[in-house]
Every structure is written in C-alpha cells, then in structure tokens.
Amino acid sequence: MARSAANNREHLEQHRGKWRVSIAVPKALQDKLGTRLKRPLNTDSLTIANQLKWPIIHEFKALIAQGGGSKTDIRAIAEEFRRQRKRAQSDDEAEEIETHISATIDHLLGPRIGEEVDPTGQPHPVYAPERAREAAEFSKVLHGRATPIEQHHAHYMAQLTVKPRTMGDDHRAIALLLRWCRENEVEPYLQSFPSKRAAVRFVDGLQALEPALSPVTLNKYLRRLSRYWQWMERREEVAADVWQGLVLPEPKVQHDAKERAFTDEEMIKLLSGPASPAMRDLIRIAALTGCRLDPIVSLRVRDCDGGLFEFKPQKKETATRKVPIHSQLLDLIAQRTAGKGPDEPVFPEWPPHSDPLKERSYKATMHFTAYRRSLGIGDEREGRRRALANFHSFRRWFITKAEQADQPPHIIASVVGHKREGMTLAVYSAGPAFEQAKRCVEAVRLPAGNSEA
C-alpha cells in the first residue's frame, strides 16, 4: 500500500524550513558524485514536495546507474514508471504514480517558449524542440510503443545452448540491424518492425549494407534474428516472427564446387610439410579420428584415458563421444600427457580465446589455414566463404577411407558422431562395442609416402 503524499518523506529532507530531494550515492561513485545527491524543491509543503520530487529522483537514479555520467536516461526512467504501474496495488497508489508521471513529463518539457494556434483556434504551448523530443520518447517508452530492439537480447542470449560462434552471429545480427536503422533513419524499436513489410526493407538493403559478405553469411544473420523474434513471440513481446522465410538468394553450387575430402597427395603434403609440432599432432589426430577441430583442441589429459578419446559434444550431440585412440597416435598422446594433471590441456599451444564468443579453436583454425595455403592446398573458389578443402576435409577423408576399408556405415557414423539411420540403431541401440569401433578406427591408415604410414 502506498504511503499518503501528506506524510511520505521518502527521499526528502528539510533544509532551512524548505524540502529538498536527497539520495545516497554508492561508495564506488562517491569520489565523483559526493556522498549524497541533493536538489532543493523551494517549498515548505510536504504534499507539494511529494509531487515535485519524482522527476528529480528518477534523474538521480539514472545518473547513478550510468556511473556518474551526465545525460539523463529517459528510457530507464520510463521503464521504471512502467514497472511501478504494474506493481500498483490500489487506486490511490495508481493515482499517485500517474501524478509522478505527469510531473516528470512537465520537468522534461521545461518552460514554454511560445504558443501556436491550431486550425480550430485552440492555443497550444510550444516547447524547445529537444525537450519536446525527450518528452515524446519518454511517453512512447512508458506506453510500450518504443521498446529498444536489443532490450530483451541479453535475456535471450543467457538461455541459449549454442556454440560461441553462433552466439557471435547473434550479436553481429543485432548490430547489423541497429546500424541499418541508424543509416536509414528508422527508430531502433521493436515497434518499427510490426510486419514483414518493414523486415523486407532491411533484407532488400542488406547486401548494399555489407557488400563484402556473401548471401550465405547474411542469411545466417537473418536466421539468428528470426530465432530472437520467435523467442520474443513466445513471451508476447512481439506479435509475430517478421523474419520467417526471408532469405537472400544464394548462388547455386556447381557439382564440382562442393566441399570435399583431401586427396592422398594433399594428405602427404600436409603430413610431411613444415608444420609446427602442435599442428603436426593436430593433423594426425584429425585424420585418424574424423573429429572436428574444436573438440580436439579442447582435449584435456583425462579425456585420453583408457585408450579412448572422450570428445566434448558437438552439433546435436547430447553427451560426450568416446573414440578408440588409433595405434599410430599412442606415442603422440603419451608425450602430450606426460607429467600433466588430469585437467591440463593436451594442446596448451591454443588456450581459450579472450573473446568468450570465439571457440577455443579459433587461433588453431587461422594457423591451419595459413599452413594449408603455404602448401598450395585448398581449392579456393571465387564467391565462396571458405575453400573446398579445409580442416573439415580430414573428417571427410577419414569417413571415405573407413568406407573403402569395408567398415559398416552405422559403425562409421557412431565413431564420427553422425546420427545413425533407422529406429533400431538410432533409438534402441546403446552403440557399438569398443572392439567394433576399434576395428573401424584401425582400418584407416595414413597414406603411403608419409613417414608414419
């Protein structure tokens, strides 16, 4: 129940017979702002003081929230009033809040600078344009007509269970949308995108906004915006996902322009070339497990116990995946784990990236790409984001060699973490026995011409 304005002294104190607003400053900001923020109200009436204090209180709170910055956060003040409206438990409390809102709008508008008469002959006050704009923005936020595009994004990101690279795509997608709004004089609010028509304008200008990015990459950002809107739709923050089905046309991939496995000749070059010791080991583990790059770089000593690699989950995997360690890798693993504790990394050469939105393997990817290009390997094609032969080609090479060695497809799928076909194997089976997986792994041998073949 709200206290009556007649005796409510919250954030008020008397000074020489007059009331003034007084709010404590957190210790961290006292060097900049002093111990308390104060402003006189020039009235000895407590009732009037309670009517005048709220714009100043919210201005002071916004100033503290900004760490002592000088600009009043109009949005923060309006959002606080929205929360107060929702929490009001009585008509008296609601009426008092509306009084505070009116006082805040009057404070934002400031003094009149003139008057104009409308076509009906009615006079209307004129205020300074900048102050009128702030009051209008305050009113839109207060009434839910100006929700910043990014307002719910942190909450949305906090519940995502995707790879850091995908989280980075989410941030880049929002940044791109906000940039487009600035450059096209579109207010950066959710309400500016009430339908597909508004979203189509963004899509139509996307390629011109980022001419260096391929349609494939830009479509990835559109999918991330769609996921964000879907999440907000479920919470009734927006009416619908306006991005659903909106894509840029992607160039058709020619039959000979698909990503592929390394050839045996390329494998020999990669295995015998002037790679760093860490890169040589990384290549051999990838070639003899068919594993993706990030799980390999993320291996810890305890993930290599008992003759098994235990790779962290990738894509839609729900648990770690165990793969027998190939006999040609046993010495390599012994050397890399010797004298280390169970939680120490197998590849300390590539520690976690300082940016949490980048995978641990980010720098390893850059190193491998530079090494591959130095050997003239890659099959680069104009208009494609990455070469047809890349680190993922080790995975393709392993699967190809396992198939050529007559290994059962469902065993190969289990080893590399692909979904196995059919309900019997995909749902009911607990997976192949160790010896079956071991035979599959050992069936793959490094190509002749390499010193370890």
pLDDT digits (tens, 9 = 90+) for 75-96: 777 877 888 888 888 888 888 7
Q: Does the pLDDT at position 427 exceed 50?
A: no
Query: Same structural domain for residues 229 and 354?
Result: no
The total domain count for the chain is 3
Of 97, 121, 142, the residue that ends a domain is: 142
- Most confident listed range (310-319, 326-335, 433-442): 326-335
Question: Is 167 a member of any domain?
Answer: yes
- Kind of pairing between the strands at 12-15 and 18-24: antiparallel
Query: Same structural domain for residues 340 and 427?
Result: yes
Of 180, 200, 234, the residue that ends a domain is: 234
What pLDDT does residue 210 have?
92
Question: Is 249 a member of any domain?
Answer: no
Beta strand residue intervals within 312-411, DSSP E: 321-324
What pLDDT does residue 2 have?
44
Query: Same structural domain for residues 276 and 340?
Result: yes
SS3 345: strand
The mean per-residue pLDDT over the stretch 243-251 comes to 91
As a three-state string, the secondary structure of 291-330 is: CCHHHHHCCEHHHHHHHEEEECCCCCCCCCEEEECCHHHH
Question: Is 107 a member of any domain?
Answer: yes
Torsion, Cα 363 364 369 370, to 10 degrees, reads: 70
The mean per-residue pLDDT over the stretch 135-140 comes to 86
Higher pLDDT, 354 or 223: 223
Query: Same structural domain for residues 161 and 126?
Result: no
Residue 117's pLDDT band (cuts 50, 70, 90):
confident
What pLDDT does residue 10 have?
87
In percent, the amount of the chain with pLDDT more than 70 equals: 90
Q: Does the pLDDT at position 421 exceed 70?
A: no
Query: Same structural domain for residues 291 and 407?
Result: yes
What pLDDT does residue 363 have?
93
Number of C-alpha atoms within 13 angstroms, CB side, residue 89?
Answer: 3
Lowest-confidence region among 71-80, 160-169, 174-183, 266-275: 71-80
What pLDDT does residue 373 have?
93
Lowest-confidence region among 113-127, 281-295, 379-393: 379-393
Higher pLDDT, 277 or 355: 277
Mean pLDDT of the chain: 86
Phi, psi of 38 (to 5 degrees): -135, 145
Lowest-confidence region among 25-29, 265-269, 287-291, 314-318: 314-318
Question: Is 367 a member of any domain?
Answer: yes
Query: Same structural domain for residues 352 and 408?
Result: yes
Question: Is 266 a member of any domain?
Answer: yes
Query: Same structural domain for residues 421 and 286?
Result: yes
Query: Same structural domain for residues 348 and 424?
Result: yes
Q: What is the pLDDT of residues 25-45, one digit of tens each?
A: 888 888 888 899 998 888 888
Question: Is 137 a member of any domain?
Answer: yes
What pLDDT does residue 317 have?
65
Dihedral sign from CA coordinates of 225, 228, 230, 232: negative
Query: Same structural domain for residues 301 and 414?
Result: yes
Q: Does the pLDDT at position 256 exceed 90?
A: no
Query: Same structural domain for residues 278 and 388?
Result: yes
In percent, the amount of the chain with pLDDT more than 90 equals: 48
What is the rounded CA–CA span in Å between residue 235 and residue 163?
24
Domain that holds residue 110: 12-142
Higher pLDDT, 356 or 427: 356
The H-or-E segment that residue 36 falls in is strand 36-40
The H-or-E segment that residue 18 falls in is strand 18-24
Question: Is 38 a member of any domain?
Answer: yes
CATH number (domain holding residue 415): 1.10.443.10
Q: Does the pLDDT at position 51 exceed 80?
A: no
Phi, psi of 21 (to 5 degrees): -80, 140
Q: What is the pLDDT of residues 370-388, one digit of tens each?
A: 999 999 998 777 666 688 8
pTM surpassing 0.75?
no
397 touches 260 (CB < 8 A) = no
Query: Same structural domain for residues 266 and 323?
Result: yes
Burial 298-332 (b: 16+ CB within 10 A, else e): bbbbebbeeebbbbbeeeeeeeebbbbbbebbeeb
The mean per-residue pLDDT over the stretch 206-214 comes to 90
Q: Does the pLDDT at position 354 exceed 60?
A: yes
Of 142, 167, 196, the residue that ends a domain is: 142
Query: Same structural domain for residues 179 and 122?
Result: no
Question: Is 449 a member of any domain?
Answer: no
